[in-house]
């Protein structure tokens, strides 16, 4: 790459782009302008360079194909799409699966959380905090880590913080390799329930094809208890690591920080209450084992799925699509008679308009989903999923299943005795900030949460089997005209599927996974998306001068959201050029050439 080897004098802004960003899923580009004198990121643009067009090619297809197709949206959380699609179809067809099927799906989805958060946390994000990375970016911090005893060494076995960091070194690190193995047996758990990973084979509208047997639950439970034991080491390990960064780098709470604007659409249905009808959605939504919620500045705005549904808006502004204003509106009112906005996913038309990238105008294939609270179009984020899930569940105080209890200000997770470790209780308390470290910490706690909920679901499922209620699928008819919506929490956060059926075929289908919210671009009102917003506020703690700069603080900020796109982040900094003016009409990356 033809970049100059000398840098500016440090007084101006320097452009840097990271593209493609590694250790995430898909391709994300982050383009920034960095003020090295102030040690802050001045500007940030998030761009994605892959378009596939699911909403386009699904039109006219048989609605029963939807979960098989939409699973392919994502290679790490495709099962979340399949699940969400099945929920959507259940509503549209008016079918309620047998209880055992719902417990089986919950166990599959819990295993997905356990697998995905584990591999991402240790093998992708963990590398940002490993000894090799810290040595290359903040040698002073590593030196301190060598001298700092880990407070929970007794639980996890690493004497110093530097020992933890070393264990996270790619491939060479012991914990890094162990986590890879954990990501495998958790996927075995998943495959027991949903057939195969990541695109399930045994999920259907109306239930599952999995045979509910004693063996199924024994095979799952044996692995689950190994994971429970693993979490008893991992939660204290990450607490030690993340707490150390606050201590080693005063002010680190500002990295990746943004206003508390969190969304959670709820996950893991309770079959006792969930009948998949729109009319009862507010009620069964509140019975989910992860409570839905919109949180603004620390306050719960709503935990009502119907309200959440009606507030969703899809804005354009900086993305490569033509607006659908004036096009046919598929759904004017929901089944309860509430008006549905033309910018709601039920009414969206996806009209791709490929064009050159221009950071002053259109620069991404990602749209700008927002949540309208009646006054403002809020750029909610999911914080990668876990922080929003725990926050929402904690505030609502509705979940109480023994293994997990929401208190109104925290979530208490009770893990039973395992092979070599006693009964252990963890309490996730609402943090002071929505920042990179707290997103990461929540990810670890949510792994324990998912395991705890799985214990409950496994007991309930096995009780069904023991009672002889082994049916796992219910017949249904596809109506000629219908609509459906499904809500769940993908691993990375909010996931909704909106379906319109006409003449027995898909007339409209719009899935909204978490990453469109997090990676969204500046909307019609000029409001930046969450990555852009969080990175723009990020101070730089890295010790390297611009010519050796890696941008680790920026990468930590971005990865804390657990990006899952189809294409990289761009930021041009490295040995880059000094930008004379803030206005760069040709696009940031052009300056590197």
Partner 1 sequence: MNAASPATREEPDASGAPGTDEKPIHILWINAGLSCDGDSVALTAAMQPSIEEIALGGLPGLPKIAVHWPLIDFECGPVGGSDTFIEWFFKGERGEIDPFVLVIEGSIPNEAIKQEGYWCGFGDNPETGQPITTSEWIDRLAPKALAVVAIGTCATYGGIHAMAGNPTGAMGVPDYLGWDWKSQAGIPIVCVPGCPIQPDNFAETLTYLLYQAAGSAPMIPLDDKLRPTWLFGATVHEGCDRAGYYEQGQFATTYDSPKCLVKVGCWGPVVKCNVPKRGWMAGIGGCPNVGGICIACTMPGFPDKFMPFMDEPPGGRFSSTASGAYGAVIRRLRTITAKTVDKEPKWRHTGREITTGYRPPW
| 502 counts as binding partner 1 under rule CB under 8 A | no
If the CB atoms of residues 8 and 195 are measured against partner 1, the closer one turns out to be 195
If the CB atoms of residues 125 and 340 are measured against partner 1, the closer one turns out to be 125
Q: From CA 92, how far away is CA 313, in angstroms rounded? A: 21
| 583 counts as binding partner 1 under rule CB under 8 A | no
First vs last Cα of the chain: how many Å apart? 7
In terms of Cα–Cα distance, which of 40, 37, 19 is closest to 535?
Answer: 40
**What 3-state DSSP class applies to 299?**
strand
| 580 counts as binding partner 1 under rule CB under 8 A | no
**What 3-state DSSP class applies to 589?**
helix
If the CB atoms of residues 266 and 551 are measured against partner 1, the closer one turns out to be 551
Q: Which long-range contacts (CB under 8 A, 24 or more apart) does 304-308 make?
A: 305/265, 305/266, 305/281, 305/487, 306/278, 306/281, 306/282, 306/334, 306/336, 306/338, 307/282, 308/263, 308/265, 308/371, 308/487
> CB–CB of 106/489 below 8 Å?
no
Q: How far is the CB of 91 from partner 1 (least distance, A)?
A: 18
If the CB atoms of residues 193 and 231 are measured against partner 1, the closer one turns out to be 193
| 303 counts as binding partner 1 under rule CB under 8 A | no
State which of positions 83-112 bind partner 1 (CB under 8 A): 101
| 471 counts as binding partner 1 under rule CB under 8 A | yes
In degrees, rounded to 5, the angle at the alpha carbon of residue 484 between the alpha carbons of residues 478 and 490 is: 120
> CB–CB of 300/398 below 8 Å?
no
Burial 53-77 (b: 16+ CB within 10 A, else e): ebbeebeeeebbebbbbbbebbebb
| 400 counts as binding partner 1 under rule CB under 8 A | no
Among 39, 159, 184, 432, binds partner 1 (CB under 8 A): 184
| 428 counts as binding partner 1 under rule CB under 8 A | no
Q: How far is the CB of 187 from partner 1 (least distance, A)?
A: 5
Which parts of 281-350 are beta strand (E)?
A: 293-296, 299-302, 312-315
> CB–CB of 561/12 below 8 Å?
no
| 483 counts as binding partner 1 under rule CB under 8 A | no
| 294 counts as binding partner 1 under rule CB under 8 A | no
Q: Which stretch binds partner 1 (CB under 8 A): 266-274, 324-332, 408-416, 550-558?
A: 550-558
Q: How far is the CB of 117 from partner 1 (least distance, A)?
A: 14
Among 141, 495, 573, 579, binds partner 1 (CB under 8 A): 573
Q: Which stretch binds partner 1 (CB under 8 A): 10-18, 289-297, 371-379, 491-499?
A: 10-18
If the CB atoms of residues 96 and 199 are measured against partner 1, the closer one turns out to be 199
Give me the count of residues in the chain.
593
Among 10, 38, 139, 172, binds partner 1 (CB under 8 A): 172
State which of positions 185-244 bind partner 1 (CB under 8 A): 187-188, 191-192, 195-204, 206-212, 219
Integer angstrom CA distances of residue 147 from 129, 247, 394, 542, 586:
17, 13, 36, 20, 48
Virtual CA dihedral for 78, 84, 85, 90, nearest 10 degrees?
150
Q: How far is the CB of 248 from partner 1 (least distance, A)?
A: 22
**What 3-state DSSP class applies to 195?**
coil
Among 10, 60, 139, 408, binds partner 1 (CB under 8 A): 60
Among 13, 44, 74, 436, binds partner 1 (CB under 8 A): 74
State which of positions 132-161 bind partner 1 (CB under 8 A): 132-133
Q: How far is the CB of 289 from partner 1 (least distance, A)?
A: 23
| 72 counts as binding partner 1 under rule CB under 8 A | yes
Q: How far is the CB of 19 from partner 1 (least distance, A)?
A: 6
User: Binding marks (x or -) toward partner 1, 357..386, rule CB under 8 A?
Assistant: x-----------------------------
| 429 counts as binding partner 1 under rule CB under 8 A | no
Q: How far is the CB of 393 from partner 1 (least distance, A)?
A: 27
If the CB atoms of residues 250 and 468 are measured against partner 1, the closer one turns out to be 468
| 499 counts as binding partner 1 under rule CB under 8 A | no
In degrees, rounded to 5, the angle at the alpha carbon of residue 238 between the alpha carbons of residues 267 and 164 is: 145
| 12 counts as binding partner 1 under rule CB under 8 A | no
State which of positions 343-362 bind partner 1 (CB under 8 A): 352-357
Ramachandran class of 146: left when φ > 0, alpha when ψ lies in -120 to 50, beta otherwise: alpha
Integer angstrom CA distances of residue 12 from 46, 229, 359:
22, 52, 19
Burial of 297 (0-12, 13-18, 19+ CB in 10 A): exposed
> CB–CB of 295/266 below 8 Å?
no
The secondary structure element, H or E, covering residue 441 is helix 436-466
Q: How far is the CB of 330 from partner 1 (least distance, A)?
A: 18
Among 46, 83, 90, 169, binds partner 1 (CB under 8 A): 169
> How many residues form the binding site for partner 1 (CB under 8 A)?
110
């Amino acid at each position: 790459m033809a970049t100059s080897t000398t840098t500016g004098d440090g007084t101006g802004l320097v452009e840097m782009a990271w593209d493609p960003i590694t250790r995430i899923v898909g391709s994300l580009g982050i383009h920034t302008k960095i003020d090295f004198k102030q040690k802050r990121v001045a500007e940030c643009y998030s761009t994605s360079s892959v378009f596939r067009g699911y909403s386009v090619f699904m039109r006219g297809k048989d609605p029963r194909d939807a979960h098989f197709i939409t699973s392919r949206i994502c290679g790490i959380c495709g099962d979340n799409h399949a699940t969400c699609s099945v929920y959507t179809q259940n509503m549209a067809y008016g079918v309620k699966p047998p209880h055992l099927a719902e417990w089986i799906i919950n166990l599959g989805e819990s295993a997905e959380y356990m697998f995905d958060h584990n591999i991402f946390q240790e093998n992708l994000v963990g590398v940002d905090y490993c000894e090799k990375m810290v040595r290359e970016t903040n040698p002073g911090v590593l030196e301190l880590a060598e001298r700092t005893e880990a407070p929970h060494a007794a639980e996890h076995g690493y004497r110093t913080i530097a020992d933890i960091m070393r264990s996270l070194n790619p491939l060479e690190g012991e914990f890094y390799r162990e986590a890879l193995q954990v990501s495998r047996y958790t996927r075995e758990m998943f495959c027991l329930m949903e057939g195969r990973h990541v695109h399930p084979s045994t999920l259907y509208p109306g239930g599952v094809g999995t045979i509910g047997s004693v063996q199924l639950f024994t095979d799952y439970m044996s692995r689950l208890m190994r994971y429970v034991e693993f979490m008893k080491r991992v939660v204290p390990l990450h607490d030690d690591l993340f707490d150390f960064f606050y201590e080693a780098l005063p002010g680190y709470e500002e990295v990746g920080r943004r206003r508390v604007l969190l969304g959670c659409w709820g996950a893991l249905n309770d079959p006792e209450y969930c009948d998949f009808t729109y009319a009862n959605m507010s009620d069964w939504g509140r019975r989910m084992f992860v409570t839905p919620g919109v949180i603004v500045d620390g306050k719960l705005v709503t935990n009502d799925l119907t309200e959440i549904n009606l507030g969703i808006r899809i804005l354009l502004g900086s993305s490569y699509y033509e607006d659908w204003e004036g096009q046919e509106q598929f759904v004017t009112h929901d089944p309860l008679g509430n008006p549905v906005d033309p910018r709601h996913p039920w009414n969206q038309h996806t009209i791709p308009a490929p064009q050159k990238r221009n950071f002053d105008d259109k620069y991404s294939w990602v749209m700008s989903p927002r949540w309208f609270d009646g006054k403002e179009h809020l750029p909610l984020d999911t914080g990668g999923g876990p922080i929003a899930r725990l926050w929402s569940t904690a505030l609502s105080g509705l979940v109480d299943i023994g293994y997990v209890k929401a208190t109104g200000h925290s979530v208490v997770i009770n893990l039973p005795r395992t092979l070599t470790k006693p009964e252990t209780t963890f309490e996730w308390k609402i943090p002071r900030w929505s920042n990179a470290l707290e997103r990461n910490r929540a990810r670890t706690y949510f792994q324990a949460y998912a395991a705890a909920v799985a214990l409950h679901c496994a007991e309930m499922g096995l009780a069904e089997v023991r009672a002889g209620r082994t049916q796992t699928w219910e017949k249904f008819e596809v109506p000629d005209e219908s609509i459906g919506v499904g809500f769940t929490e993908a691993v990375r956060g909010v996931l909704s599927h909106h379906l319109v059926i006409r003449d027995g075929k898909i007339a409209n289908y719009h899935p909204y996974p978490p990453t469109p919210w997090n990676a969204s671009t500046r909307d019609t009102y000029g409001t930046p998306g969450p990555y852009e917003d969080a990175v723009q506020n990020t101070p730089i703690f890295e010790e390297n001068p611009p010519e050796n700069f890696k941008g680790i603080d920026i990468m930590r900020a971005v990865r804390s959201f657990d990006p899952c796109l189809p294409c990289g982040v761009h930021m041009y900094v490295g040995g880059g050029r000094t930008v004379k003016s803030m206005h760069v009409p040709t696009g940031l990356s052009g300056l590197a050439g």
